Amino acid sequence: MTSTPTTPTTPVAVEPPVTAARTPLLEVKGLVVHYQVRGAGAVIRRRETVHAVDGVDLSLDTHQTLGLVGESGCGKSTTGRSVLLLERPTAGLIRFEGRDLTALSRRELNGLRRRMQIVFQDPVGSLNPRHTVGQLLREPLLVHHLVPKQRQRERVEELLDLVGLPTDAVSRFPHEFSGGQCQRIGIARALAAEPSFLVLDEPVSALDVSIQAQILQLLTDLQDRLGLSYLFIAHDLAVVGQMSDLVAVMYLGKIVEIAERDSLYARPHHPYTQGLFSAVPVPDPTLSRKHGDTVVAGEVPSSLAPPPGCRFNTRCPMARERCRTEEPPLDQVAPGHRVACHFADEAVRNNPFDVAPTVEV
């Protein structure tokens, strides 16, 4: 019996599976927020434009915290409110969970709003003084039809327990609580809608230091427990460093530097970021004197008339003619580290403030 010879087969190359690009939970591109205001003219009150936010790009993944830091009036809170469409942007793209919020109808947007919530800076002023805590926490349940009426009391008590408040708080009014307790109520109200993303707008700046630590720990625990993502807005570098995975530095409506926290805190590239670190108080009197001589000089220019070129050029000790005429792009200087400065490499080599970061993370 003869066997038929077999022809060797050519192995078929198997292509590796195509991995889909990960979609960020939140993606902001070219965000612009301008306000029209009446100027103060002698005869005719002309309309002027406030450049609150001018071309901001941000990206945030699930279970991640992006810290947004800068001086008062730089546009941090406006950015946070615009992301939620509490302020209508003048231009730009805001995509949340893969959907462009700016293209949604009012009805579609209302259906998505419960996934995005905000915790305000003023814990007392953000709560309606005429409503009990039970009414405050029950309102999101009613608006979004989340819980049957017979289960609402139980859900309210669950929310109070989640933020560390006793269940007898249900029948009490906001004025009966301390500032820290009111902020816990504000957090519970935001969580009532079962969100995946929270804008935390200076959530601890109005609280005592000891209470700040408790609220920050609560926010960290809630993030781990519920898988939340945060846009954490603050001006305190130590607080931002404690809470954030990524940090964006904002100046006069623009992002000037953005990087992973450890990278930015270890080696800031932008002179403004370096100036912020130089202004952080330190307990050593010798270092304190040195810091006092190297803080950022001058005042933030008016957002009615931002300077041309780099917006920091009026206060930057490294400013040159190019800085006054050409706006620097937000370019990558290291993996995941982007800076808007024409002379970022030089700023790293020769820190114009001559002070290393002193904030521990």
Residues 208-246: pLDDT tens digits? 988 999 999 999 999 999 999 999 999 889 999 999 999
Domain residue ranges of the chain, discontinuous segments joined by +:
60-86+101-250, 268-349
The answer to whether 249 and 341 have CB atoms below 8 angstroms apart is no
For residues 250 and 49, give the distance between their C-alpha atoms in angstroms, rounded to a whole number. 19
For residues 160 and 184, give the distance between their C-alpha atoms in angstroms, rounded to a whole number. 8
Cα 142 from chain centroid?
Answer: 28
- The secondary structure of the chain in percent helix, strand, coil, rounded to multiples of 5, reads 35, 20, 45
Write down the pTM of the prediction.
Answer: 0.88
pLDDT of residue 44: 53
All residue ranges of the chain with pLDDT < 70 are 1-21, 39-45, 282-295, 354-361
CATH code of 60-86+101-250, in short, is: 3.40.50.300
pLDDT of residue 4: 47
pLDDT of residue 360: 59
pLDDT of residue 65: 97
